Each structure stands twice: as structure tokens, then as C-alpha cells.
Structure 1
Amino acid sequence: MAFKKGEDVELTIDSAAYKGKGIGKIDGLAVFVPNTAPGDRVKARIIKKKKSYLEAKLLDVLEPGPHRIEPKCQHAQHCGGCNWQHVSYKHQLEFKRDQVEDHMHRIGGLTHMEVTPTIGCDNAFHYRNKMEYSMGHKRWLSREEINRDEYVDDRCFAAGLHAPGRFDKILNINECYLQHPISYNILDFVRSWCIEHDIAPYNRIDHEGFMRNLVIRKAWHTDDLMVNIVTYKDNQDVVEALSYALQNEFPEITTIVNNVNDTRRPTAEGRYEKVLYGSGNITDKIGKYHFNIGANDFFQTNTAQAERLYEVAKSFAELSEDDVLYDLYCGVGTLSLFLSDSCKSVLGIELEEVAVKNAQKNIQENNVGNVSFVEGDMKDVFTEEITSEHGTPDCLITDPPRAGMHPDVVERLKELQVPKLVYVSCNSSTMARDLEELNEVYNILEVQPVDMFPQTYHIETVAKLRLKE
């Protein structure tokens, strides 16, 4: 049967697919439908046709499946922040394990591998230590508003999260369950304050206006709370007035900064930054180590679960006091420090200059003497000269970006043949690709998913590798 774009179809969702979409079949053709759960009988509209599959948008849940629950947040169906909130958390964990196992079997060719059950998060809501809200002049309209007979204006001061796939429209949120409740209250206050004082949101099309983003960082292990006001222009009178208003309304705030992004780059990181109140940093901990975190510094978004992730990596590393450990793609050195008391020395290798500077600052502030860092591209830096200077590693941990490791790095690992290797990944598909190559010289003994982002399809995965004899 030939299906047409725009055609409405009914189908049953059989399983959860990559990126959180439900997948069903019509006449043997796979159909991907967001906001669905396995077991749902749905009505959907085809929006994209490919040779081997269709993509559709959900119109109605005709019969809910056994895994579907009522989302906690009113915005769950439209928001890019929580695309699995309609699935019970128990089954989220099961689907994530299945997703990782599918990647290991189908992409990595590791058909013998049975992935262990996902390590869940104690806090399925309010777990994030950082939220980045966007502001704009056009809000996302709900299906009900679009279907109204009368005209509905989408122009306003919108503050919240982008609608999925839309850079130009903001879901003007009225609640959020990802960060501590004070986060949304601050956002709501800033939105109201800007409307009251006639402060224009940034227009991403015409590149006019003032307010771009509001970034809130709430430390997990301390009381520190940062508000980062990101603006398109530098206007001290406005941001200082807003800063004073925030301090009066929310005495819990410990620091306020203003990042000025006067470029067209769609980022919350300013070209320069000014501290309006407090130190300009917050302090948090992972394990026994503390970290000073600036407005634009990378830090694991889920602090409590990062400790579990690192404990899994530590367990898989099986370090001894005489071991030399290499930490590839080390970032600001959080994992390097976490493992430093279990081995002789740690060498972290990282591309970003700012991250290396922060990593060096972190080892100084924690008085750690057996950790050092090298800046550079992994495929260029990870050479024989490095191993000659810092020693041949007994164990190596790699935590690459979503794209996985560069092929040259994979080849170098196969040549170096470090006895113990631990692979940490935020993308199990690229991890599976790399493991297929590494399986030539390594046995993949265990693959452990760790859920860092409840209510989303994202999953961290740790693999334990040992050199073949």
C-alpha cells in the first residue's frame, strides 16, 4: 500500500526506538511516532516518507498501553526537555537498556553481549543542577490554539524551552520539574519583570531586542545558587536593576552574572561576562572533591548520578596503587580527580584550552599532587612521546563526545594495548561502533547503562574491556 504525506493512519506501537520515538508497523513498514509508548494504539499523521520507513506525528492515543502514565508536567507533550515523561520510570530504565543492547548487537556486532540492567536515578525529577532557558518574541502554539476559529497571536515575551526542532519558537512554560522548584520561580519572575519594564526579548530572525537566555545553576551539595542573565546588548542599568530585584525576591541567590552575547551565535555563552553580585562562581562536590564552577564551565548536569557513574568506572578500572592511569577526553578533570586516590598517577588529555585551565585549577584547589593534564587534539597528542614522558598506562579511561573516538585514536589504542580499558559514553551507537574495532584486541566483558537524565531518552553507558591473551 502506498502511503501519502499528510495521510492519517492507525497503528499499535510495538517498541521504543532511538531518540525516544515509538515504533510500529503498517504493512511491514516501520513508522516512528514521538510521544508514544509500547502498547499504545494511536492515530497519527504521516509527515515524512522514506524508502524503508515513515515518520508521523501523534494525533490521538486511542488505547493507552500498559507503560503509559499521565505526565506530571502540562508541557510534556510539546517540550524538548522531557520527551519520555509519559512512560513510567521503571519502563524508561528497561527501554534504555534495550536501546543500548540493540546498539551493541546491531552496530557493534557483539551479539553475545547481554547488557546489564540500567542503574536508575533516585531523583527522577528535580535532578538537574543547571537549566538553560531561552527567551524570544514568538511562542509555540498548542494544537488546541491552532485549531481555534478565532485568530491566536503567537507574539509575546516567551520564556522557557525551545519546541523540538524549532529554533525560532519558545514554549512559554508555566512549570518545570527538571531542576529545583526555585528555578522556574526565578524564570517566571524575570519574565514578568521584563514585561513590566518593557524589556524586549531577543529576536533571532531580525537580531534585535535584549534578553536572550536565563541560565540557573543550583549546586547539589551546597546552598550555592547562580543566576546568569544572558543579553544581546551591554546595558548595565537594566541588568543591575534586574539583579537588585532578584536579590530582594530570592535571598537564596548567592551570585548573579551577566553574559553579553552580542553575536549571532545561538549560545548562552557570552563574548564577555560581568559579575553583578557575589563571587561569580558556585561550589559543588563529586565524591570528596570540590569544584568551583563558573557560568560557562562544564560540570556534570546530574551531580548525584555522576557519582554513581564514576563509581561504575572505578569498579571497572580495578585500579591498584601502582597503576598509571590515562583519562582521555578528560574535560575539567572531575573523573581524573575522583580516581586519583586509587592509583599512582593520572594523566588527563583534553582538547579545550579552557577546560584544561579549569582542570589544573581543580587539582590545585583540592591539593592533589598525582594528576597532570595535557592540552591538544586526542589524535595528535596521544602519541609515543606522551607515553615516554608520563609512563605507559596500566589502565585507560576514555569518555569521548557524542561522535565517539577519532579512528586514529582507536587505532592507537589497538597498537598500545593497555591491559585495562574503560569506555564511558553518552552515545551508545558510536560506542558500539568503536567497540567493534576494539574487539579485535580486547574482550568486552561488561556493558553498564547509567541513567543520568530521567524523563528523556538519553543514556550514559560504561564498558569494561580487558586485553586478549
Structure 2
Amino acid sequence: MAKRRRLREQKKAGSTQPRTIDFQIENIDSLGQGVSKLNEEISFIAKTLPGETGSAQVLKQKRKVSIARLDALERISDQRIEPDCRHFQHCPGCHFLHTDYSTELAFKKSALQDCFKNLELPAAGIDLVQAPQRQHYRNRIQLHYRHKYLGMLDGLTDQVNEIPDCQILVPQLQAQLKALYEDKSWTKEHSGNGHCEIYWQDERVNISWDKPYADGGFTQVNQAVNTILVDRVKQLALAVPFEHVLDVFSGSGNLSNPIIAENPVPRRMVDLSGVSHADFMTMNLYDDDALPRFLQRQRLKQFDLMLVDPPRKGFPSLNSWVRKLKPKRLIYVSCNPETLAADIQSLTGKFALSHLSLLDMFPSTFHYETVATLDFTRH
């Protein structure tokens, strides 16, 4: 048996030791965790790779399913590399820095295929778009603080992990993050538990304390990939003729503005918050009566092009909106492929999934952006 490679610090002497299990990783799930099925027990272990074996410490368990943290490796995958961030092993923010980027992309593509296993994929398959860079791309980060400690909150241990040398941030935010660790004067005004958000906007660093996420207005965290996303949606939209555009969960019009610039047709933007614009309608799209109220306030009752870009929970009312407004083409952008697939499967009209893109908006993590294009023949 190969000598074990220790990957965590030992517990303090005298502390209660969690249960140790052996594992053998078969595959990687959609959350970036290794899946082991050994000794009639299913275990999910982050920061492992297929084919690896070793031991892990159980953090949570329900019946014969456990979530564990890597303790030691016996058999090491050829795909494993040394992470280029010193915080990786203990930070919950990144999931794939222990392997190369091509392997990370393969895991993500496999996860998307699994989400769409009950849908007929386009003849061309999944269009995979990689990020221009794997690190130093994120222009927004939310950190948690507990008294004088500031960092990423580990949901499994409920502990704050400090990350002064985080490698995922754009350089402007890295400098501000280091400053917060070097000068703890912020603890005078922010004691106890809370969070802060650091973001790059309007060519400057902004910090908000204990406010809702995206307090300064929502923007995609990866500007380079967002540019690719917007261009991809525009191409898909302009590929077919249309006379009216409905942009649902529009925000400030990130997706529809470039489309209207090239084809200036009537547009309606709908969201809970956005910009002061003649096209914009303020509405909580998750309200039960959102569709009837929209129809009451909107003179045009049909839109041949419909854009949807909801939060992670998706758009459960999608079928009702599609049946009523009868779009010919629907372009759905999602950061959660599971809710995307569920929303598409809820549709009762006849349609074809004509295009499916995976854009790696969040490299080094299990997250990514998906663009699905649906063409309707009748409703």
C-alpha cells in the first residue's frame, strides 16, 4: 500500500475526532464532489478525482449517505496537479484547482449532459465555450465575518476560512482584500456576525457591509465571458426574423440592448429592479399574479422573441408565459442547469431545442452559464 499523503492539519490534541471512512472515487457529481460507493455507503468528497482512493473525515451523515472531507490519499489520479492557490484545500469557493482546466471543462460538460438526459439535445451537441483565463477574473466577491475573522463561510463546518491571497479575484479587488486583512479597523464598526461585498464597478473598488447581494446593481462576475455571452445571445436572436422582443428578468438589458441596437423593434423589459427606461416594467416575476398583471399593463399580447435570464431558482411559471405570449424563439440563459432543464421540461407546446451552449463564466468552480435556444412550431 502506497504511503498516504496527508492533506489536512491534525486536530488539536484531546478534541473529538470525526469518523474516518475509506473511499474509492467513481465519478464527479454536478457539485464538483467525488462520489464513492464503498462498503454499502455512498460518500461525497470534495477535491478528489475519479480513480483516487484514500480516507476522509465524515462531516455530515444521513443513513448510508455521508458528506466527508478529504484526509489522505492512497492512489493519486494522473489528472491531479498542485493547486496554484494556497487556500484551495480548505476554501469552499473553488472546486477544481487540483486538476487541469481541460479536465474541469469535461466534468462540467458531463454534468450538463446529465441535466439534459431527458431532453433531446441539438444535432450539433453542446457548444462548449471556455473562459479566456482561469484565475484573476472575478469582479465581485461576498465575504463573511465572525468578529475579527473575515473570509469564505464553509457551510459544512459553519466556520469562516480566511483567504488573504485569493487567486480568483481581479487584481483591483486582490489589493483591497489584502488591505482588509492588514488593517482590522473595520471590526470597530462591524462586530459579531455579518458579511461584506467587495466589487469592481465604474472603474473603482466598492465595499458594502451587511447589505443584500449585488447592492450596487447586479452585474456578471466575469466580464470577459459576459461579453462572449451577450454576443452569443445576439447571434442566436438575429438568426431568425422577429418584430417584438420580451426580455424577462432583464435587469438593465444586458442581453437585449445589443439586439435592439442592431434590430430596433419594440421591446418590453420586465424585472423587479432595473433602469429607468421607457421599455422597462417593474414587477416581481415570482408573484402568483405576475402574468395577469403584465397582460393588463401591456398593450402588445404576443412577442415572437423571448429572452429569459432568471436567478438560480429558475422560472417555474415559464410554461404559462410561453403559452400566453406565443414566442417563436425562446432564448433561456441560466446559471443553474437543473432548474433550466426542469423549466424546459414543463413546457407543453411543441418545440425543438435548437442550440445549447455551456459558457464557463465561473472557472475553477462547479458553476457555469448555460444558453438554451428553443424554437416553437405551435403552442
Q: Shorter-chain TM-score: which interval?
A: 0.7 to 0.9
After TM superposition, the structure 1 = structure 2 runs for residues 398-413 of structure 1, keeping only pairs within 5 Å, are 398-407=308-317, 409-413=318-322
Q: Does 1:315 align with 2:273?
A: no
The 8 Å contact of residues 84 and 456 in structure 1, kept in 2 or not, is answered as yes
Aligned equivalent of 1:194, options 171, 184, 203: 184
- Asked if residue 215 in structure 1 is aligned to residue 225 in structure 2, the reply is no
1:268 partner letter: K
- In 1, the alpha carbon distance for the partners of 2:348 and 2:110 equals 21
Structure 1 pair 218–412 and aligned structure 2 pair: CA distance change class (3 A) = closer
Contact 1:445 1:465 in 2 (8 A): yes
Question: Could you say if the C-alpha distance between residues 112 and 193 of structure 1 is closer, same or farther in structure 2, counting changes exceeding 3 Å?
Answer: closer
Instruction: Pick one of 128, 132, 135 that aligns with 1:125.
Output: 135
> Normalising by the residue count of structure 2, what TM-score does the alignment of the two structures yield?
0.84
Tell me which of 347, 367, 384 is aligned to 2:268.
Answer: 347
In structure 2, distance between residues paired with 1:295 and 1:381: 24
Q: Alpha carbons of 1:387 and 1:302: their partners in 2 closer, same or farther (altered >3 Å)? A: same
Structure 1 position 411, deviation (Å): 2.4
The alignment's C-alpha RMSD in Å is: 2.8
Q: CA 1:62 to 1:330, structure 2 compared with 1: closer, same or farther past 3 Å?
A: same
Matched, 1:422 2:341: no
Question: Are 1:449 and 2:370 matched, yes or no?
Answer: no
Amino acid at match of 2:279: S
- 1:72 Cα shift? 0.9
Q: Could you tell me the percent identity over the aligned residues? A: 24
1:110 counterpart = 2:119: yes
Cα distance, 1:454 vs structure 2? 0.6
SS at match of 2:188: coil
Contact 2:244/2:303 (<8 A) preserved: yes
**Please, which of 161, 164, 168 is the counterpart of residue 171 of structure 1?**
161
Q: Partner residue of 1:392?
A: 302
Cα gap change, 1:412 to 1:183, in 2 (>3 Å): closer
Instruction: Tell me if the contact between 2:40 and 2:64 (Cα under 8 Å) persists in the aligned partners.
Output: no
- The 3-state SS of whatever aligns with 2:315 is coil
Report the residue type matching 2:224 in the other structure: A
Instruction: Please list the CA deviations of residues 97-117 of structure 1 after superposition, one character each: whole Å capped at 9, or x if unmatched.
Output: 111110111xxx215567414
How do 1:61-460 residues align onto structure 2 when only pairs under 5 Å count? 61-105=73-117, 109-110=118-119, 115-137=125-147, 157-165=148-156, 169-194=159-184, 199=188, 201-204=190-193, 213-219=195-201, 224-228=203-207, 230=209, 267-269=210-212, 296-318=216-238, 323-343=243-263, 344-350=265-271, 352=272, 355-356=273-274, 359-360=275-276, 372-378=279-285, 380-383=289-292, 385=295, 389-390=299-300, 392-407=302-317, 409-438=318-347, 440-460=349-369
SS at match of 1:334: coil
CA distance in 1, matches of 2:259, 2:121: 30
Counterpart residue identity of residue 280, structure 2 = F
User: Hey, what's the Cα distance between the residues in 1 that align with 2:113 and 2:310?
Assistant: 19
Superposed displacement of residue 269, structure 1:
4.2
* C-alpha contact (below 8 Å) 1:129/1:179 kept by paired residues: yes
Give 1:6 deviation, angstroms: 5.0
Is the alpha carbon distance of 1:388 and 1:86 closer, same or farther for their aligned partners in structure 2, counting shifts above 3 Å?
A: same
Q: Please give the alpha-carbon distance, in whole angstroms, between the structure 1 residues aligned to 2:127 and 2:54.
A: 29
Give the TM-score of the pair, scaled to structure 1: 0.69
Q: Distance in 1 between matches of 2:190 and 2:58?
A: 35
Other structure's SS at 1:72 match = coil
Structure 2 letter corresponding to 1:297 = G
For the residue of structure 2 that corresponds to 1:468, the secondary structure is: strand
The verdict on how the C-alpha distance between 1:438 and 1:315 changes in structure 2, with shifts beyond 3 A counting, is farther
Q: Which amino acid aligns with 1:174?
A: P
- Cα deviation, 1:365-411, whole Å, max 9, x if unaligned, reads xxxxxx6011113353434736961352111011122111123x322
Residue 88 of structure 1, CA deviation: 1.4
Q: Which has the higher helix share?
A: 1
Alpha-carbon distance between aligned partners in 2 of 1:268 and 1:86, rounded to the nearest angstrom: 33
Tell me, in whole angstroms, the C-alpha distance in 1 between the residues paired with 2:57 and 2:88.
20
* Compared CA separation, residues 112 and 452, structure 1 to 2 (3 A): closer
Q: Residue 14 of structure 2 corresponds to which residue in structure 1?
A: none
1:288-307 Cα distance to aligned partner (Å, 9 max, x none): xxxxxx95211111111111
Change (3 A) 1:215 1:50: closer
Looking at structure 2, the residues matched to 57 and 426 of structure 1 have their Cα atoms a distance apart, in angstroms, of 26
Aligned residue type for 1:215: E
Distance across 1 between alignment mates of 2:195 and 2:39: 46
- 2:42 corresponds to: 30
Unaligned runs of 5+ in 2: 1-16
Tell me if structure 2 keeps the 8 A contact 1:444–1:464: yes
Distance 1:423 1:116 in 2: 15
**1:249 corresponding residue in structure 2:** none
What amino acid is the match of 2:77?
A: G
Q: Deviations over 1:195-228 (max 9, x none)?
A: 5x98375212xxxxxxx55533225xx7x12232
State how many pairs are aligned.
357
Give 1:341 shift: 1.5
Conserved in 1, the CA contact under 8 Å of 2:234 and 2:259?
A: yes
Per-residue CA deviations over 1:295-338 (Å, capped at 9, x if unaligned) read 52111111111111122222222356752111111123222213
State how far apart, in whole Å, the 2-side matches of 1:319 and 1:113 are: 16
CA distance in 1, matches of 2:247, 2:38: 47
- Structure 1 residue 464 displacement after superposition: 1.1
Whole-angstrom distance in 2 between the partners of 1:295 and 1:6? 39
User: Structure 1 residue 22: deviation in Å?
Assistant: 1.0
Alpha-carbon distance change, 455 to 439 in structure 1, aligned in 2, over 3 angstroms: farther
1:159 touches 1:187 (CA, 8 Å); kept in 2?
no
Q: Distance in 2 between matches of 1:7 and 1:214?
A: 35
